[in-house]
């Protein structure tokens, strides 16, 4: 059994704290993915394709934008998005197709220290979940090469559910699938609106800035 399997087995076995004939469900930690576990920036791909800085800035502000990308996070098919965008900006057809085909290059690496925290939590038997705004098709491209996700009991992906943070429904899905609600869920996300939506449901939610701050928050919550 490899390390990830051993850690996850321990986490699942510790899902409840038992005392006598009673048991209390253990608090779970819910991680965002982009900019919490992994860096994400569209420029990481397109700076390889556009040499001129002014053109690159214009392209990212008008053609392949984060706002447009978010349509895939909400469940829209990438093929439809790409065809529509090429019709608007035919001079950038190759670049727009690169967005669909080389999306993993917009994820240049891991957020420093975050994966170590995941491994420590798993080793301590803390149940782990992900709640991520991530397109379904892009998730299928990215997930297979990332063993860190083997440590999570469940991963709720907006593109699969076709609803994205900060809509209340996606938080409800986490509650249903984790069997927890309110303060039984510790949540970290880099987006203030997503944190506000979680707090509105009573979650113990913390805005992510860096791994050191998250570690202190987890210690204060009694999770590390």
Contacts of 49 (CB under 8 A, 6+ apart): 94, 95, 98
- To the question of pTM greater than 0.85 for the whole model, the response is yes
Contact 6, 13 (CB under 8 A): no
The CA–CA distances, whole Å, from 27 to 157, 202, 215 equal 21, 13, 16
Residue 25: predicted pLDDT: 83
Residue 24: predicted pLDDT: 65
In our burial notation (b when 16+ CB lie closer than 10 A, e otherwise), range 148-186 reads bbebbbebbbbbbbebbbbeeebbebbbeebebbeebbb
Pairing assessment for the beta strands 128-132 and 22-25 based on DSSP bridges: unpaired
Domain boundaries, the chain: 3-39+108-220, 52-103
In 3D space, the residue among 224, 211, 2, 204 whose CA is nearest the CA of residue 121 turns out to be: 224
Residue 144: predicted pLDDT: 97
For 20-77, how does the pLDDT look when each residue is reduced to its tens digit (9 = 90+)? 333 468 999 999 999 999 999 999 999 999 999 999 999 999 999 999 999 999 999 9
Average pLDDT over residues 68-94: 98
Contact 125, 13 (CB under 8 A): yes
Contacts of 24 (CB under 8 A, 6+ apart): 16, 17
pLDDT confidence band for 19 (50 / 70 / 90): very low
Average pLDDT over residues 182-192: 98
The dotted CATH code for 3-39+108-220 is: 3.40.50.1000
Residue 2: predicted pLDDT: 56
Distance (Å, rounded) from C-alpha 32 to C-alpha 219? 19
Tokens of 221: 């919550």
Average pLDDT over residues 89-117: 98
pLDDT confidence band for 14 (50 / 70 / 90): very low
């Amino acid at each position: 059994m490899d390390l990830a399997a051993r850690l996850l087995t321990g986490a699942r076995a510790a899902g409840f704290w038992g005392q006598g004939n009673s048991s209390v469900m253990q608090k779970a930690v819910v991680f965002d993915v982009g900019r919490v576990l992994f860096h994400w920036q569209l420029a990481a791909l397109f700076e390889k394709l556009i040499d001129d800085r002014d053109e690159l800035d214009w392209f990212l502000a008008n053609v392949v934008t984060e706002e447009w990308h978010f349509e895939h996070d909400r469940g829209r098919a990438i093929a439809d998005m790409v065809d529509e965008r090429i019709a608007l900006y035919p001079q950038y057809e190759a670049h727009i197709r690169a967005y669909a085909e080389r999306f993993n290059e917009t994820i240049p690496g891991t957020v420093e220290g975050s994966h170590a925290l995941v491994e420590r939590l798993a080793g301590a038997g803390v149940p782990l979940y992900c709640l991520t705004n991530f397109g379904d098709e892009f998730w299928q491209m990215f997930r297979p090469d990332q063993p860190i996700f083997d440590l999570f009991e469940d991963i709720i992906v907006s593109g699969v559910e076709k609803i994205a943070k900060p809509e209340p429904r996606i938080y409800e899905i986490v509650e249903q699938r984790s069997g927890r609600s309110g303060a039984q869920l510790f949540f970290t996300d880099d987006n203030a609106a997503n944190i506000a939506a979680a707090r509105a449901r009573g979650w113990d939610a913390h805005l992510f800035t860096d791994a050191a701050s998250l570690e202190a928050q987890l210690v204060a919550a009694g999770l590390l």
